[in-house]
Amino acid sequence: RKEVEQDPGPFNVPEGATVAFNCTYSNSASQSFFWYRQDCRKEPKLLMSVYSSGNEDGRFTAQLNRASQYISLLIRDSKLSDSATYLCAGSGDSNYQLIWGAGTKLIIKP
Query: What letter would DSSP give residue 42?
Result: S
**DSSP annotation string for 62-85:** EEEETTTTEEEEEE-S--GGG-EE
The reply on whether position 45 binds other proteins by CB under 8 A is: yes
Q: How far is the CB of 100 from other proteins (least distance, A)?
A: 3
User: Would you say the C-alpha torsion 26, 70, 57, 84 has a positive or negative sign?
Assistant: positive
- The single residue among 1, 29, 43, 67 that binds other proteins, judged by CB under 8 A, is 43
The reply on whether position 86 binds other proteins by CB under 8 A is: no
Considering only residues 21 to 40 of the shown chain, the ones binding other proteins according to CB under 8 A are 32, 34, 36
User: Would you say the C-alpha torsion 4, 51, 35, 93 has a positive or negative sign?
Assistant: negative
Number of residues that bind other proteins (CB under 8 A): 21
* Residues at the interface with other proteins (CB under 8 A): 4, 8, 32, 34, 36, 42-46, 49, 87, 89, 95-98, 100-103
